[in-house]
Structure 1
Amino acid sequence: MVSTRVALLLGAAIVTVGTASLADYCTVDYATSVLPIQDLGLGITIDTSSVSASLTTNRSVSSEWYAASVIDYCDVTFAYSHNGLNNDTVHVSYLVPTPESFSNRYVSTGGGGLAINSGAFYSPTGIIVGAVSGITDGGFGNFNTQYNAAFLLAEGTVNWQATYMFGYQAHHELAMLGKQFTRNFFNVSDSDKVYSYYQGCSEGGREGWSQIQRFVDQFDGLVTGAPAFRFSQLQTNHLSGGVIEGALGYYPPPCELEKIVNLTIAACDGLDGKVDGVVARSDLCKLHFDYKSTIGEPYYCAASSRGGGPGGLHRRQFPGSGPTPEQNGTITAEGVAVASAFTNGLIDSSGKRIYLNPQPGSTFADAITKYNTDTSSWEPSIPGLGGEWIARYLNLEDKSNIDSLTNVTADTLRDWMALGMQKYEDSLQTTWPDISAFKEAGGKVILVHGEADSSIPAASSVHYYESVRNAMYGDLAYDESVIAMDEFYRLYIVPGGAHCGSNPNQRAGGWPATTLQTVIEWAEEGVEPDMLANEGEIEALCKWPLRPLWSGDGENFDCVSDEASRESWIYTFDAFKVPVY
């Protein structure tokens, strides 16, 4: 419990903050005096001895998610525990802006991969918009500890507390504590509104939706990027490349797949009416481009000591990739077969669809092979995210990957997906489609997804949007249902965009940098974002289901409705006997 002295200070010390400087109130004593000790219904106890406060001034920050800025802030960190649990400690950190820049706002920011926070990657955006900006460690040990380190209590035994914290609970507590802490710190009266926002991408995008689906009035607005919806399908599907290659009996050199990507980009670039190095209509590419046209084209890649594939793949995703020899050859029919089957997505032995894969023009990241120096041949490189999902989260082994893909088929992947879907339906799947209560509470959400995302396919976000539209407005005509969705939920596909950022293979695509400001204007001023400002050659992004098209030799830009193109984004996962939203 908080001491009597601290409770008294809560009513006295906070009245001075409006006239104080940042240095005056960035102290442990002041931070302790304004802890969110009010009963928020969370069942927690704050450790008042854990408080720290550190001042940062003139820090230069930059990101594709916000404009380059110089910021001042006070970083206040404290810990709390859940009542009734032993050895339970959760750390939260709140960056507090200067009094003169505070705009009655709070912002939570999310993580990525298996991390529940991204540290300072997103959090400066809160300071930029005049908000207190919070992150959590989920109770996993510290801000640098990821969920996989806390998942198992022992082999065979799930740490369900950590799982529910990662799934949704930690971010709920972070936001509830953060909003009250913001009120206390700046002495905001109960009659004045503190607007609450969220921003995150990938796992951070999923974390945002975990809140929308459960705590409907927690945030006034959210920016979610490339959300990790359908956690079991998504993670298992990272193994699809190697399984498809095994079924076809061909493991293409990475350079062959990279050449196919480059030729696809060149061929499909102008389908939007403008040649600018960006595939802005991957749907038209899917409908009209044939990978077979690349057969016989030469490729060359120098030997590399880094290994990996196109774009320099992350070590966490491909921990086994090593040095690669010089690659010199021509695109084969076998390589094209792999590219075609991979783009089409997983199909089971009965011809039913299991899942989807990235759009044409994306890298074949999950199909990248590694070189075996002993056999002088290419073999599957098992992606770490997919392999760990099976080993740790389904088999409950303390391992970061499976040993091989031997005897693993598309049907195996389907069954693994179904197992994880059932096991983690209420924690990690994050696919509940009826978000009517969020809409009725006045919430606004903007979802952005890179069209060339090779980690979480852009069509994944389309599938969830369509699931929500059908669940909430399935009785309306299509155009009417989209208008209804536009009141609170808008999806923007970023032409050429990669996973949560711009694409080195399609540099002119850019990335929207002021989306949080856009959702703030929508929530606070009712300014509806018909298009979304972008930093690339295409300066504004079309909201789904409209797609970009240039006319007049690339002089005039418009957002158009194209039913055939729209349908190319739509999938039915009929390999499962239950709905997959």
Structure 2
Amino acid sequence: MRLHPLAFPALIAATGASAAALSTVCTSSYVTDSLPSIVGIEFGSVSAVAVYNYSVAAGNSYPGVSGRNFCNISVAYSHTLKNDSVRARFQSETKPSLANATVKVNVYYYLPAPRQWSSRFLATGGGGFSINSGLSGLEGGLVYNAAVGLTDGGFGSLTTVLTDVLIPANGTMAWDLLVNLAYLSIHEMTEIGTGMATNFYTNTSKVYTYYQGCSEGGREGWSQVQRYGTQYDGAVIGAPAFRQAFQQPNHFWPQIQQTVAGYVPNTCEIQKLVNDTIDACDALDGKKDGVIGRTDLCRLHYNASSSIGSTYSCAASSGSSSGGGMGPVGASGGSGATPAQNGSITAKSVAAWNALIDGPYDSKGRHLYVGFQPGNQGASDVAGSYNSTSSTYYASASGLGGQWIDMFLNDIDSEELSLEGVTADNLRAWILQGYQKYTDTLMTVWPDLEDFQQSGGKVIHYHGEADNSIPTFYEQGIDALGDFYKLFLIPGAGHCSPAADNGPFPQTMIGSIIDWVEHGVAPEKVLNATILQGDLEGTRQDICAFSTRPEWKGNATVQPECVWPDREALAAWYPTLDSIPLSVYGLA
């Protein structure tokens, strides 16, 4: 199944400007005159429409706001690929390309009225295999009076994703469009947007440039600060979908384990194991609230085998989409209509669940990649799909992970992957193939942030501990990066959003990065967050900067203390990955 974002134009916002001032500058001719001159870019059509008294509903990553006036702008541009830097990158290679084509890219902006201009530009990214997240990824700019932009990457429309256009014919890959997704189009959208804003507001000497994105948008964010470090002042990056060669095949490990073991669990079994894990580990942080705040302690002190023999029961379901949201989900297990389910948890049920938690191992017992944290809602990767004809559950491998294997590795326009005869060593071979194919080109980049750091750039990096799409693990030594980089693991949060009731989520992240960059107020120990759902909705609950972890002492209504985990608990975040002969941690 292909995931498509909502189609909305990008935003550059402001409040309080007079209608006369906005109508004077919000014209296609004025915007055209404000476009920057960029080598290799040829601008096409430009449109500009004034919008008044616009309201933004609160989202996970920004609070609500009303009364915004702005200029809604779209700009088309192109570069002939056989002459530009995109094509030059592959001139010495035999990979098929769109060498003789001209790709038109569309970028979209909202420009605020001049009197309220705050000298900010916010670039946004996408999710899945989309290069933009539509309105949901853009309205944060309106809240903070910042210019905001998005791009269609040259795919043809805002709702067209890369996999719709990646394979023109089996055996042929549109490498130029892959380059656009990998890093180029967001860079160009930012370069155009920042330059246009500078020219549009003639009294502007400094435009602070920010980035915000999660999942694929998080990977895109790292691609920007790595490749174009001096272009950005700050970035808010969530659950980055990097290490694609590892990340995408990793989703098939539970299905491979089930195929080999000859047992496929149903959704009710998996939900029972999730619930038992939460019940057992909830209070390990000192507070019983339905949220696992210390997944490291849960991993050390709880084993799902304690659920063996317990019973489960679920009513019939009409079906739902697979989990994982905007991330690179691998399996479609657990979706579709199912009958009523009941039974007892067995050792085979636990083995299927532990495959998700522990991650994949090769035939020699070496660790290939990381698993997911305890308590994640993992049915999309573990639970089988139901066959109504045979009344059985089967292991299913499809979706974005299947597209990665078929399209990106084999240049085949397909997303359904057969698991017949597939073993852990096939998984290892896929990982190596993907690494070798993409390391020096696009989706894998050595994480060099020197230019970004030396130019004063700042990063707020967040990741839900209950993320069931992209696993959470980090390398030792990140504490030494605190002068420009802060990592926050969000208890109970899923993929780019809240998951557990009563779990906090950092809704004002853009405000936090602005405070850090423009006012020198760093989130030294905690990141402000709010509980967005559940009985405690609206309550503030701070999130501790990693490597410290939350611990509640005494009165559970106060903020948690941020404590240093002991050596054993800290080591739970740094698994030894010894199957692949390269530094997995060093790959972005």
Q: Specify if TM > 0.5.
A: yes
Q: CA deviation at 1:494?
A: 0.4
Q: State TM-score, norm by structure 1.
A: 0.88
Q: CA deviation at 1:449?
A: 0.4
Q: Select 1:355's aligned residue among 348, 369, 373.
A: 369
The equivalent residue for 1:64 is 60
* Deviations 1:129-166 (CA, angstroms, capped at 9, x unpaired): 12110101111111111111221232111111111111
User: What secondary structure, in the 3-state scheme, does the structure 2 residue paired with 1:73 have?
Assistant: strand
Letter matched to residue 22 of structure 1: L
Indicate how the Cα distance of structure 1 residues 523 and 24 shifts in structure 2: closer, same or farther if over 3 A, else same: same
Letter matched to residue 534 of structure 1: A
Q: CA deviation at 1:452?
A: 0.2
Indicate how the Cα distance of structure 1 residues 417 and 180 shifts in structure 2: closer, same or farther if over 3 A, else same: same
Indicate how the Cα distance of structure 1 residues 346 and 520 shifts in structure 2: closer, same or farther if over 3 A, else same: same
The equivalent residue for 1:125 is 140
Distance in 2 between the 1:314 and 1:167 partners? Answer: 15
Structure 1 residue 53 and structure 2 residue 49: aligned?
yes
Distance in 2 between the 1:236 and 1:195 partners? Answer: 38
Q: State TM-score, norm by structure 2.
A: 0.87
Deviates more, 1:331-340 or 1:316-325: 316-325
Q: Select 1:544's aligned residue among 538, 543, 546.
A: 546
Q: Superposed, which structure 2 residues align to 1:477-488 within 5 Å?
A: 482=479, 484-488=480-484
User: What secondary structure, in the 3-state scheme, does the structure 1 residue paired with 2:513 have?
Assistant: helix
Contact 2:124 2:150 in 1 (8 A): yes
Structure 1 residue 263 and structure 2 residue 276: aligned?
yes
Distance in 2 between the 1:219 and 1:308 partners? Answer: 36
The equivalent residue for 1:564 is 568
The equivalent residue for 2:495 is 499
User: What secondary structure, in the 3-state scheme, does the structure 2 residue paired with 1:62 have?
Assistant: coil
The equivalent residue for 2:512 is 518
Contact 1:511 1:535 in 2 (8 A): yes
Q: Between Structure 1 and Structure 2, how many residues are aligned?
A: 538
Q: Select 2:527's aligned residue among 520, 532, 537.
A: 532
The equivalent residue for 1:82 is 79
User: What secondary structure, in the 3-state scheme, does the structure 2 residue paired with 1:235 have?
Assistant: helix
The equivalent residue for 1:344 is 358
Contact 1:274 1:553 in 2 (8 A): no
User: What secondary structure, in the 3-state scheme, does the structure 2 residue paired with 1:363 have?
Assistant: coil
Indicate how the Cα distance of structure 1 residues 311 and 265 shifts in structure 2: closer, same or farther if over 3 A, else same: farther
Segments of 5+ residues of structure 2 without an aligned counterpart are 1-16, 84-99, 532-538
Distance in 1 between the 2:407 and 2:324 partners? Answer: 28
User: What secondary structure, in the 3-state scheme, does the structure 1 residue paired with 2:113 have?
Assistant: coil
Structure 1 residue 246 and structure 2 residue 259: aligned?
yes
* Deviations 1:167-217 (CA, angstroms, capped at 9, x unpaired): 00111111111110111111145xx21100000000000000001111111
Indicate how the Cα distance of structure 1 residues 60 and 515 shifts in structure 2: closer, same or farther if over 3 A, else same: closer
Q: CA deviation at 1:438?
A: 1.5
Q: Select 2:174's aligned residue among 156, 159, 182.
A: 159
User: What secondary structure, in the 3-state scheme, does the structure 2 residue paired with 1:66 have?
Assistant: coil
Q: CA deviation at 1:20?
A: 4.7
Q: CA deviation at 1:553?
A: 5.2
Contact 2:331 2:401 in 1 (8 A): no
Structure 1 residue 432 and structure 2 residue 427: aligned?
no
Q: CA deviation at 1:391?
A: 1.1
Distance in 2 between the 1:312 and 1:205 partners? Answer: 14
Contact 2:464 2:490 in 1 (8 A): yes
Q: Superposed, which structure 2 residues align to 1:422-501 within 5 Å?
A: 422-459=436-473, 462-463=474-475, 466=476, 469=477, 482=479, 484-501=480-497
Structure 1 residue 23 and structure 2 residue 23: aligned?
yes
Letter matched to residue 21 of structure 1: A
Indicate how the Cα distance of structure 1 residues 355 and 511 shifts in structure 2: closer, same or farther if over 3 A, else same: same
Contact 1:52 1:78 in 2 (8 A): no
Contact 1:255 1:309 in 2 (8 A): no
CA-atom RMSD, angstroms? 2.2
Indicate how the Cα distance of structure 1 residues 545 and 383 shifts in structure 2: closer, same or farther if over 3 A, else same: farther
Letter matched to residue 574 of structure 2: I
The equivalent residue for 1:554 is 556
Distance in 2 between the 1:131 and 1:313 partners? Answer: 24
Letter matched to residue 361 of structure 1: G
The equivalent residue for 2:303 is 290
* Deviations 1:451-486 (CA, angstroms, capped at 9, x unpaired): 000001122xx24xx4xx4xxxxxxxxxxx72x300
Contact 1:346 1:355 in 2 (8 A): yes
Q: Superposed, which structure 2 residues align to 1:101-116 within 5 Å?
A: 101-116=116-131
Distance in 2 between the 1:271 and 1:568 partners? Answer: 15
The equivalent residue for 1:7 is none
Q: CA deviation at 1:401?
A: 2.4
Contact 1:446 1:491 in 2 (8 A): yes
The equivalent residue for 1:272 is 285
The equivalent residue for 1:11 is none
Letter matched to residue 205 of structure 1: G
* Deviations 1:253-299 (CA, angstroms, capped at 9, x unpaired): 11000010011111100000010111010110000011111112221
Q: CA deviation at 1:60?
A: 3.1
Distance in 1 between the 2:324 and 2:454 partners? Answer: 43
Distance in 1 between the 2:374 and 2:179 partners? Answer: 36
Indicate how the Cα distance of structure 1 residues 405 and 332 shifts in structure 2: closer, same or farther if over 3 A, else same: same
User: What secondary structure, in the 3-state scheme, does the structure 2 residue paired with 1:446 have?
Assistant: strand
* Deviations 1:420-446 (CA, angstroms, capped at 9, x unpaired): 111111344344233222111111001
Q: CA deviation at 1:100?
A: 3.5
The equivalent residue for 1:575 is 579
Letter matched to residue 72 of structure 1: N
Q: CA deviation at 1:313?
A: 11
Equivalent pairs: percent with the same residue? Answer: 41
Letter matched to residue 33 of structure 1: D
Q: Superposed, which structure 2 residues align to 1:296-315 within 5 Å?
A: 296-307=309-320
Distance in 1 between the 2:400 and 2:232 partners? Answer: 30
User: What secondary structure, in the 3-state scheme, does the structure 1 residue paired with 2:227 have?
Assistant: coil
Indicate how the Cα distance of structure 1 residues 148 and 257 shifts in structure 2: closer, same or farther if over 3 A, else same: same
Q: CA deviation at 1:322?
A: 2.3
Distance in 1 between the 2:327 and 2:483 partners? Answer: 38
Deviates more, 1:338-347 or 1:279-288: 338-347
Q: CA deviation at 1:573?
A: 2.2
Contact 1:123 1:134 in 2 (8 A): yes
Distance in 1 between the 2:314 and 2:115 partners? Answer: 55
The equivalent residue for 2:70 is 73
* Deviations 1:217-254 (CA, angstroms, capped at 9, x unpaired): 11100000000010111111111121121222210111
Segments of 5+ residues of structure 1 without an aligned counterpart are 1-16, 470-480
Q: CA deviation at 1:115?
A: 0.5
User: What secondary structure, in the 3-state scheme, does the structure 2 residue paired with 1:81 have?
Assistant: strand
Q: CA deviation at 1:354?
A: 0.6
Contact 1:253 1:369 in 2 (8 A): yes
User: What secondary structure, in the 3-state scheme, does the structure 1 residue paired with 2:290 have?
Assistant: coil
Indicate how the Cα distance of structure 1 residues 427 and 311 shifts in structure 2: closer, same or farther if over 3 A, else same: closer
Distance in 2 between the 1:401 and 1:302 partners? Answer: 29
Q: CA deviation at 1:346?
A: 0.2
Distance in 1 between the 2:64 and 2:212 partners? Answer: 17
User: What secondary structure, in the 3-state scheme, does the structure 2 residue paired with 1:58 have?
Assistant: strand
* Deviations 1:348-406 (CA, angstroms, capped at 9, x unpaired): 0011111112100002231121111222211112241111111111111111222x211
Distance in 1 between the 2:392 and 2:166 partners? Answer: 36
Deviates more, 1:419-428 or 1:317-326: 317-326
Distance in 2 between the 1:73 and 1:381 partners? Answer: 47
